[in-house]
Structure 1
Amino acid sequence: MKILIVGTGGVGGYFGGRLAQAGHEVTFIARGKHREAIEKHGLDVKSINGNFSVTNISVTDKISDVPRPDLIIVSVKAWQVKDIAQQLKPVIGKETMVLPLQNGVLASDELKEFLPQQNVLSGLCRIISKIDGPGKINHLAVDPTIVFGECDNSKTDRVYALEKVFNDSGFKGRVAKDIQSDIWKKFISICVSAWLAVTRSTYGEVREQPETRKVMRDLFEEVTELAYKKGVNIEPDFVDKTMAFIDTFPPESTSSLTRDVWEGKPSELEYQNGSVVKLADEIGLDVPINRFIYYSLILMEEKAKKK
């Protein structure tokens, strides 16, 4: 399969590396020293599931260099999706699948603003990983998984064929029964990332302190209520399951949004807690925890964008 990985960070680097290792024709989009290192030495992945390297792989900083791929995995930050969608339009073919793996609930809709609807899938991934240096990816926690499907939840031959490709490449792939439900479930769980940023704390620290743990749970309850109001199917015990899942994370772990805020970089704040606030305002739902966290970070986010 001819695959284009747009965004060779912790997500794109790991999953693209596994696909390349399995023998697929993978091209990575990367820039600067990261691109140079991959071009010269390949991609090194440190992983809790076993370290691996892939060499002699294709890397470029121009999407236009890769016409008509079979699959495009979009693994850039959520706020970059609209710009990427416009760059993808000239290279996709009739049969190209475009699979976004962004945090948040808007990526597929934003892609479809610029691309033919039949090309766009919906998806999410589960992994804690990051760039450890030029050409180096570090998978820190969580069993790597891609959950995906057609945007209308139809069960097509192409999604089942892609599921097999993923599972044959050393990570879990699963066609969702209800992809909107799965995307919202992940959305609920990741919105705590900004709370880590506000408290300048790790998952372990936030979950072990009773007061900050209560705020985390209240945050999840708010986003879950928003999902219910939006007609999304979420099981009644989902918040309990989410708390239990976070209790399994390595205590020193954080998230990409958290690290971006700490480092003064633009983050996905608008697509996480910012989206909660905006969607809640549209239906008149009160979300005070998410609003406080969003407002607490918005000035830092604006300053980061101006750098």
Structure 2
Amino acid sequence: MNILMYGAGALGAYFGGRLLEKGHNIYFFVREKRALQLQKEGLHIDSPQGDLKTSDLTLFTDPEEVKNIDLIILAIKGYHLNDALPQIEMIQKNNQAFVLPLLNGMEHIPRLQETLGEEYILGGFASMIATLNEKGHVVHSNQTSSITFGTLHSRQKNICASLADIGEGITNTTIQFSDHIKKLMWRKYTFITAFSGVTTATNLPAGFIAKHDATYEVAKNVVEEMAEIAAKDGIRFTKEEIEQIAENQRQMPKESTSSMHQDFRKGLPIEVEHLHGGALRFAEKYGVQAPTIQTIYGLLKPYEHGRIDL
């Protein structure tokens, strides 16, 4: 199977590197600046799951040059989707490729389905904490990493079976199929909306959620509001599941933090509109009150496009 990793930030470079490590046909579509950096530095991964260095990369910057692709993995931030979509559409149409988006949130799914065709868009998400350093090397800071994927349309069974076969041979990360992908996507969305919101709004790592009951209550309130929104969208969590998602907020390693908080500290754009703004649009659609999410959204919205110079 020929796989195109659309984007080679921390997420795309990490999982693309893990697939390359096992000899799979992996190609990267990147912007010119990132292509030059990868050509100079190579692809480096610094990870508890094993380090990797390779310069054996196939890079594309022109969508018309991408041929014979079976699967496109979208490894981009939500705020890049608007600009990237015309290129994604060209590549997908030219190759009739399936698309596995690893974006946070849920709003991107119907948008991609409308643009590219419902039968081509798989469900999926990634779980890891990583960033790029000044040389563009991946720094993976937690102990695990995974991609979880599944079918959202009956036509996707064969491509999912092929990707699951690839996942069985991967040792330094996890690539796994799920029959309940939509529920797991909502679970991830619920967790990350709380975790990214609280760590970024406080500008503090996970240990402070565990240390202060008042801070934990904010995270818990976000989880409960997200669970109510998910229920209106057809995904119901049990009381025990909601409590576990909330409890996971303070079970994270003390110094770990969210990708949004890492971007915030670097003065980069953050996904507040894609995550919290998206949640509020779902809440409005379903008539759900979400005051805690609204508050976090309001606090972080000024930083949507990066550092503010006063």
Fold similarity call, TM over 0.5: yes
Match of 1:291 in 2: 294
The 2-side partners of 1:154 and 1:234 are apart by 28
The answer for the alignment partner of 2:180 in structure 1 is: 178
* Count of aligned positions: 306
**Residue of structure 1 equivalent to 2:189:** 187
> Contact 1:145–1:173 at 8 Å: present in 2 too?
yes
Partner of 2:80: 80
Matching residue's letter, 1:151: L
Amino acid at match of 1:259: Q
Distance 2:258 2:52 in 1: 23
Change in Cα spacing, 1:41 to 1:263, as seen in structure 2 (3 Å) is: closer
Greater fraction of residues in strand: 1
Cα shift readout 1:197-234 (whole Å, capped 9, x = no counterpart): 11111111122211101111111111111111222132
Instruction: Give secondary structure in 1 for the equivalent of 2:3.
Output: strand
RMSD: 2.3
Counterparts in 2 of 1:237 and 1:9: CA distance versus 1, 3 Å: same
Q: Distance in 2 between matches of 1:65 and 1:226?
A: 42
Deviation by residue 1:58-80 (Cα, 9 ceiling, x = unmatched): 12333333223111110111122
Q: What displacement does 1:273 show?
A: 1.3
Residue 276 of structure 2 corresponds to 273
Q: Where does the alignment leave 5 or more consecutive residues of structure 2 unmatched? A: none
Deviates more, 1:168-177 or 1:195-204: 168-177
Change in Cα spacing, 1:154 to 1:210, as seen in structure 2 (3 Å) is farther
Report the counterpart of residue 69 of structure 1 in structure 2: 69
1:146 corresponds to which residue? 147
Find the partner of 1:222 among 220, 225, 238: 225
Q: Distance in 2 between matches of 1:237 and 1:142?
A: 25
The answer on 1:89 being equivalent to 2:89 is: yes
Question: Within 1, Cα distance between the matches of 2:19 and 2:31?
Answer: 20
Aligned to 2:203: 200
CA distance in 2 between counterparts of 1:131 and 1:125 reads 16
* Residue identity opposite 1:185 in structure 2: R
Q: Following superposition of structure 1 onto structure 2, how do residues 4-43 of structure 1 map, counting pairs within 5 Å?
A: 4-31=4-31, 34-43=34-43
Contact 2:104 2:275 (8 Å CA) reproduced: yes
Aligned match of 1:101: 102
Q: Is the 8 A contact 1:66 1:91 kept in 2?
A: yes
| Structure 1 residues 173-220: Cα deviation after superposition (integer angstroms, max 9, x where no partner) | 222222211110000000121221111111111222111011111111
Letter in 2 for 1:204: G
Q: 1:210 to 1:43 in 2, by over 3 A?
A: same
Structure 2 distance, partners of 1:216, 1:154, is: 38
Distance 1:164 1:95, change over 3 A: farther
Given that residues 128 and 139 in structure 1 are in contact (C-alpha distance below 8 angstroms), is that contact kept between their aligned partners in structure 2?
yes
Kindly indicate whether residue 237 of structure 2 is the aligned counterpart of residue 234 of structure 1.
yes
Q: Identify unmatched segments of 5+ residues in structure 1.
A: none
How far off is 1:159 after superposition?
Answer: 0.7
CA distance in structure 2 between the aligned counterparts of 1:58 and 1:72, rounded to whole angstroms: 14
Q: Contact 1:163–1:175 at 8 Å: present in 2 too?
A: yes
- State the Cα distance separating 1:32 from its structure 2 match: 5.3
- Equivalent-residue separation in structure 2 for 1:102 and 1:303 (angstroms): 19
How far has the Cα of 1:305 moved from its partner?
10
Inter-partner Cα distance in structure 2 for 1:79 and 1:262: 18
Q: TM-score, normalised by structure 1?
A: 0.91
**Secondary structure of the equivalent of 2:288?**
coil
Read off the aligned partner of 1:116 and give its amino acid letter.
G
Write the distance in 2 (CA, Å) between the matches of 1:4 and 1:222.
36
Q: 1:123 — aligned with what?
A: 124
Residue identity opposite 1:299 in structure 2? P
| Helix, strand or coil at the partner of 1:89 | helix
